[in-house]
Structure 1
Amino acid sequence: MPTQPTRPLTVGFDLDMTLIDSRPGIKAAYEALSAETGTYIDADLAITRLGPPLEQELAHWFPEERIQPMGDRYREIYPAFAIAPTLAMPGAREAVAAVRRRGGRAIVVTAKHEPNAELHLKHLGIEADAVIGWLWAEAKAEALREHGAAVYVGDHTGDVRGALTAGALSVAVPTGPCDASALRSEGADVVLADLTGFPAWLEDYLADREASPA
């Protein structure tokens, strides 16, 4: 029988603490919101638990009826305070480039407000083929399935759950709030020390895939 063609490669990436170290920028945005509203926010604590939607963090500092307007205001001031201080994670540009070099598509699926996610990527020169925001944990599977992602790379146990819900291979990096043990316990298929190891891993993955096409 003739060999069936291998499906085009699509790899999804999380954003915060996977592709970008947004802690300095997010800290600055929280401090600005705190100063504007007169409400105490422990920004140093907040940036240790990045990953879940903004509203979950704001619930620690504001009463329920203020969470939505404060979220709207945070997203409004975010570009002025959070974009410039944010750095690319080690290996981030190379990881995305490795996917595209092999003719694949690199997409970003994040809980972050999509326009702000796009600003980060543009500022840091990270070229994604699509950016999908406002999705967290299992809900990320919606975008991963829509784009046919075979792999999803993230730093949080929520990212692992999103990958597994989508039927994608979960590649995890312990560069955010979750350590390697927690990521493995959640079911990550692969745990890399950071994204600097991703291009070599991808080459091995593709070699195996090409040797045993679906």
Structure 2
Amino acid sequence: MTARLVLWDVDLTLIDARSIGVDWYRRVLAEVTGVAMRHVPDMAGKTELAITGEVLAAHDIDAAEDTVRAMFDALVSVVLADRDVLSLRGAAMPGAARALDALAEVPGVVQTLVTGNLPEVAFHKLDAFGLHRHVDFGIGGFGAESRHRHDLISTAVAKAGAKHGTEFPPESVVVVGDTPRDVAGALHHGAVAIGVASGRSDERSLREAGAHVVLPDLTDTEAVLTAVRG
């Protein structure tokens, strides 16, 4: 098989932290601005930069660069403080560990992330469930880099190419995620889009978004391998 760059989404693809994420933002907003959260934006498939901007705007707070940076720093601190809570209240998605392990055994496969999370937050989330071992966090696309999901894919591909001394053409890049935004980002780059209906989006909506392959979840390891191999 030719080299494959596999770009994993995190939330509701590899882990489920739905019960905690809004609470983190509520605490961060109060800590940084002193304002109590009144409005929670739709976070699915969005980047941290976009979510933070929407949270601030919804509370009539200017999204100045230093305020956004303070929000990011506070978020990292809150997630680290909740490391043990995360492992109790959250969960690894079914089949995620086996899928990561199996792909790590396939020659030529490089695994990293394209996620709306900050890199530190993504690490803590995966580390809490032992899912970090096969993921190269140094070459991913993360949520502080752009408001737009498709930019993160381009960033990750460039980082991976620089590290491995080779180009990863679009057809060798595989994006795995649970939302139509993940699919749209993959298609924008010309990458292979694997939709996983383990989040709020069902199989039909992922197909309609243009996913090349749609899986109900990650429990069928052979189906994941087949989808990645193309």
- TM exceeding 0.5: yes
Does 2:105 correspond to 1:121? no
DSSP 3-state at the match of 2:128: helix
> How many Å apart are 1:203 and its aligned residue?
4.0
Contact 2:8 2:175 in 1 (8 A): yes
Residues 88 and 28 of structure 1, relative CA distance in 2, 3 Å threshold: same
Contact 1:34 1:40 in 2 (8 A): yes
Does 2:19 correspond to 1:24? yes
Contact 2:79 2:124 in 1 (8 A): no
Whose radius of gyration is greater, 1 or 2? 1
Specify the code of the residue in structure 1 equivalent to 2:45.
G
Residues 195 and 56 of structure 1, relative CA distance in 2, 3 Å threshold: farther
Identify the residue that residue 212 of structure 1 maps to in structure 2: none
What is the alpha-carbon distance in structure 2 between the residues aligned to residue 117 and residue 51 of structure 1? 14
What is the alpha-carbon distance in structure 1 between the residues aligned to residue 227 and residue 75 of structure 2? 40
Residues 151 and 101 of structure 1, relative CA distance in 2, 3 Å threshold: same
DSSP 3-state at the match of 1:111: coil
**CA offsets, 1:119-165, max 9 Å, x none?**
22222111233122225421132145333353110011111122122
Does 2:59 correspond to 1:62? yes
> How many Å apart are 1:35 and its aligned residue?
5.7
1:1-214 alignment to 2 at 5 Å? 6-33=1-28, 36=31, 37-41=34-38, 49-53=43-47, 54-59=51-56, 61-65=58-62, 68=68, 69-81=70-82, 83-84=86-87, 85-103=89-107, 104-126=109-131, 127-131=133-137, 132=140, 133-134=142-143, 136-146=148-158, 147=160, 148=168, 149-197=172-220, 199-205=221-227
After TM superposition, which residue ranges in structure 1, 4 or more long, deviate above 6 angstroms?
none
> How many Å apart are 1:58 and its aligned residue?
1.3
DSSP 3-state at the match of 2:211: coil
What is the alpha-carbon distance in structure 2 between the residues aligned to residue 62 and residue 32 of structure 1? 14
> How many Å apart are 1:70 and its aligned residue?
3.8
Please provide the CA RMSD for this pair: 2.7
Residues 41 and 71 of structure 1, relative CA distance in 2, 3 Å threshold: farther
Contact 1:137 1:159 in 2 (8 A): yes
% identical aligned pairs: 26
Q: How many residues in Structure 1 have an aligned counterpart in Structure 2? A: 199
> How many Å apart are 1:77 and its aligned residue?
2.0
Q: Report the TM-score, using the length of structure 2 for normalisation.
A: 0.73
Residues 205 and 154 of structure 1, relative CA distance in 2, 3 Å threshold: closer
Q: Which runs of 5+ in 1 are unaligned?
A: 1-5, 210-214
Q: Report the TM-score, using the length of structure 1 for normalisation.
A: 0.78
